[in-house]
Each structure stands twice: as C-alpha cells, then as structure tokens.
Amino acid sequence: MKTINVVAAVIVHDGKVFATQRGYGELAGGWEFPGGKVEAGETSEQALVREIREELETTVSVDSFVYQVEYDYPAFHLSMGCYMCSIVEGHLHLLEHSAAKWLGAANLRSVDWLPADIEVVNALEAKGVLS
C-alpha cells in the first residue's frame, strides 16, 4: 500500500487546541489538525511551517514532537507526525478549511475527527495539556 507522509500542528492556547474542518477532497467534513504532506527535500519542521502558512496565513514555531500516527486508510497508509506548535505571527485565517474551533478537555470529542486522529486526541488527553 502507498504511504503518505504528513505533518500536523497541535496548536494549544489557554488550554484549548485548534481544530480545523477539511473543506475539500474525499475526507471533506472531517476534523483534523492543520498540516499536510511533506514534500521531497523538506524536513518535517519545514513542511509544517510551509503548510500552516499556506492554509492559515500564520507563521508557527515547531516546539516539540507529540505523537506519531500510523494508520491504514482503505486506499493508503498514513504516517503522520504531530508537533506542538506556537503562533509566531498571524491570526489563523482559514484559506482552505471550512471551519475551525478551539476545543478544550470538555468538548474535545464534540467534533467528527478523521479516523486517524482519534489516537492523537487520546494522546493529548493522556498528556493533560488541555483544560
């Protein structure tokens, strides 16, 4: 099966994490952590900074690794590195997503997360980074 390498940003502010809803494609409507595919020659960090600029017109710093997802979708294997990120500049302007929410511990599971993201949500809960 084909593997796609993706990076995703876990942006936490005041105990809440920034979640976005996919606006296009096969998984449209599902909620995710913003990010995208790593391109040839890029490090994970470079890919993440580029993707967040492209999707949200915002510059982030990549602070630490949180979780590695290995998930089999019917058509491909997803290998997704998730990193804690902080906003350096910008206002998370939605250029590609259809909606966004800041989710805390109480409503973390109130959105329809993409199937691969459930384990990231579990890891965030276990780490106790949300309030």
**Size of the chain, expressed as the number of residues it contains:** 131
Nearer Cβ to ligand 8DG, position 76 or 89?
A: 76
Q: What residue ranges bind ligand 8DG (CB under 6 A)?
A: 6, 8, 27, 32-37, 51, 78, 80, 114, 116-117
Q: Which residue is nearest to ligand 8DG (CB)?
A: 36
Decide: 94 and 100 in contact? Cβ < 8 Å: yes
Minimum Å distance from CB 71 to ligand 8DG?
A: 7
* Beta carbon of residue 39, minimum distance to ligand 8DG (angstroms, whole number): 8
Minimum CB separation of residue 83 from ligand 8DG in Å reads 11
Complex with ligand 8DG: residue 28 or 88, whichever CB lies closer: 28
